[in-house]
A and B are shown apart, each in its own frame.
Chain A
Amino acid sequence: MANYALRRVLQSIPILFILSILLFAMVRAAPGGPLSAAYRNPNITKEQIALLKHQLGLDLPLPVQYANWLGDMLQGDMGDSIKFRRPVSEMIAERIPNTIVLVGVSFLVTLIIALPIGILSARKPYSFFDYLTTTLTFIGQSVPVYWLGLALILVFYVSIQNPYTGEPIFPAAGMRTIGQDKNLADLAWHLVLPVTALSASWAAWYSRFLRSSLLDVLHEDYVRTARAKGASDRIVYYKHALRNAILPLVTLIGLDLPSLFAGALFIETIFAWPGMGRLFWDAARGRDYPVLLAVVMIDAVIIISCNILADLFYGILDPRVKYD
């Protein structure tokens, strides 16, 4: 298994390499490039632009620029933000934990909602509970995450107030109350709306997926065999069926990770959550290309690592899988 993990890591290097070339070419192919704002500014002279170009290394041929950038990236130097004149690595180090908190908590909440719903609705298909959850999951799958976020703000921040204090029920922006010390309760309070918005559609997808994969598995021969040898319904269901039905879900989650980050981008933008997604959005609007490249590359690394982890986890869940 260690060999397999190592090979997967090695295989991911060319993928990241290709991605980095494509991204660099894309970001730098735009006319004017990172200095387009400076070109439009009538107060900046041609000489100043030339100097700026030289300082940023933009007067070198593109492949040389790429090689320099890649070399720096590999040493952990992601360059300086053009807009904020700060090391990108510093800015990202501030933001990454916030995104991990948001995505991690949302992911846990998703599993806590999706697993029981998927299991119970497959247990009694076409029951009232199944119809109810199927309808709810259809709704959940169809609600765009950004609108759900906005709707939650509309309801719990704009419309309904706490009758005693007259304050909004849940905060709609940021990670903590201004003027308060960092504390867990306050963070949890700020997490409620973003996590709800982010988890809803994933929970819908995963529970529906688990339901259909459980129903598929229940027709398998080994389930019939287990029943025939007299195993109780419970054992058949939770030990034989569930363990097999969960495998495709692990693969789905592994493949679906880019969409988790997409959701986080929207939610961070709406709720002014100081994470990587929000950083990226600001950088994209300001064409702050070192930040853009760094955020995408780091997200790609996270996605690939989680992919590998999902595959390894698959092997732990399914002893039939042999890594060689």
Chain B
Amino acid sequence: MTNRSLGSQILHRFFKHRLAVFAVVLLALMVVLALGANLTQYTPTEQDPSNPFMSPTTAHWFGTDELGRDIFTRILYGSRVSLLVGLISTLLTISLGVAVGAISGYYGGWLDNVLMRITDTFLTFPTIFVLIILSSLLRELPFPWLKNSILVVIVIIAALSWMWPARLVRSLFITLREREFVTATRALGGSSAGIIIRHILPNCLGPILVSGTLQMAYAIITESGLSYLGFGVQPPTPTWGAILSTAQVYVFRAPWMAIYPGVMIFITVMTINYIGDGLRDAFDPYVIHSEK
């Protein structure tokens, strides 16, 4: 091993995972497409009642829906929602989970007991049912800003997902807090907060990033699923789930409509899963690499 920094070693190992690198490129492309959604010649809500259910043509790449709206444009706008929900709710989930897990694992004792009982309680919730109830409830509360349903979906997904990273980080902290470098830092007078943030947490980066990718995939699938059932982001905002749910109604008249949103969810989630796989290999030097 040459004397490169740990970071560049990890990066090097990540680049060896070709599928993961390809996935990063693909995801970047999707982000670019999502950002450029307004560059198509249609708007996502523009109706053309004379041309409903058009099969794909050069004018409408993915055809049109029941109101004559351009599906390609709606898919691109939908990717904004999916990527935004995926990213923000993952950040929320991971922050909350890491905070709970770190405190629980580092301090132990009664604090750990209380936090873990709460975590266990949340883990037994029938998640999707609670998500649906929360989603329909929060939107009816008399706060106008809650009507922004993207925010509602982001928050409720995070509120019911933080337990997984919390358990993971806790178990990492329990092993790491007994290590010599922690004892040494404490002997030198390091504060608990400093030890948690500067010394232990960086060692958990790999597993946290990997669980972040899992969470992001889950969040995207869940948002689309909720919207598909009618309890996610509300119309007229175009989302993949909403397009899919319309497609189901018209599955005989316009079967192609069901294909695009599903393929988009699939590709997005698959790229994220492959990035997660690449990160796992990159952070774990003991993984056996096949050098073929």
Q: How many residues of B contact A (CB 8 A)?
A: 46
Contact of A19 with B225 in the complex, beta carbons under 8 Å: no
Chain A, range 266-324, C-beta contacts under 8 Å to B: 266, 269-270, 280-281, 284-285, 287, 292, 295-296, 299-300, 303-304, 307
Contact of A151 with B262 in the complex, beta carbons under 8 Å: yes
Instruction: State which size class the interface on A falls in.
Output: 35 or more
Contact of B269 with A142 in the complex, beta carbons under 8 Å: yes
* Chain B contacts for A153, CB-based, 8 A: 251
Contact of B132 with A284 in the complex, beta carbons under 8 Å: yes
Contact pattern, A 134-173, Cβ under 8 Å of B = 1, otherwise 0: 0000110111111100110110001100000000000000
* Minimal beta-carbon separation of A32 from chain B (angstroms): 7
Contact of A154 with B129 in the complex, beta carbons under 8 Å: no
Chain B binding surface, main DSSP class: helix
* Chain B contacts for A258, CB-based, 8 A: 123-128
A285-B129 contact given A31-B141, A154-B255, CB 8 Å threshold? no
Contact for B140 among A32, A296, A300, CB less than 8 A = A32
* Minimal beta-carbon separation of A262 from chain B (angstroms): 4
A299-B129 contact given A30-B137, A150-B244, A154-B255, CB 8 Å threshold? yes
Contact for B137 among A26, A147, A307, CB less than 8 A = A26
A142 to B140, CA, bound (A): 33
Contact of B132 with A304 in the complex, beta carbons under 8 Å: no
* Chain A contacts for B142, CB-based, 8 A: 31
Judged by a CB distance under 8 angstroms, whether B258 is at the interface is: yes
Contact for A158 among B133, B136, B251, CB less than 8 A = B251
| Closest chain A residue, CB of each to CB of B163 | A255
* Chain B contacts for A32, CB-based, 8 A: 140
Contact of A142 with B128 in the complex, beta carbons under 8 Å: no
A295 to B130, CA, bound (A): 11
A147-B273 contact given A266-B229, A296-B133, CB 8 Å threshold? no
- Residues of B participating in the A interface, judged by any CB pair closer than 8 Å: 120-121, 123-130, 132-134, 136-137, 140-142, 217, 221, 224-225, 228-231, 244, 247-248, 251-252, 255, 258-259, 261-262, 265-266, 269-270, 273-274, 277, 288, 290, 292
Q: Closest 10 interchain pairs by CB?
A: A147-B262, A262-B128, A142-B270, A299-B126, A142-B269, A126-B290, A30-B140, A258-B127, A296-B129, A144-B221
Extra pairs beyond A147-B261, A150-B244, A258-B123 (11, CB < 8 Å): A31-B141, A126-B288, A142-B266, A144-B225, A153-B251, A154-B258, A258-B124, A262-B127, A265-B129, A296-B133, A300-B125
- Residues of A participating in the B interface, judged by any CB pair closer than 8 Å: 12, 15, 18-19, 23, 26-27, 29-32, 36, 125-126, 138-139, 141-147, 150-151, 153-154, 158-159, 255, 258-259, 261-262, 265-266, 269-270, 280-281, 284-285, 287, 292, 295-296, 299-300, 303-304, 307
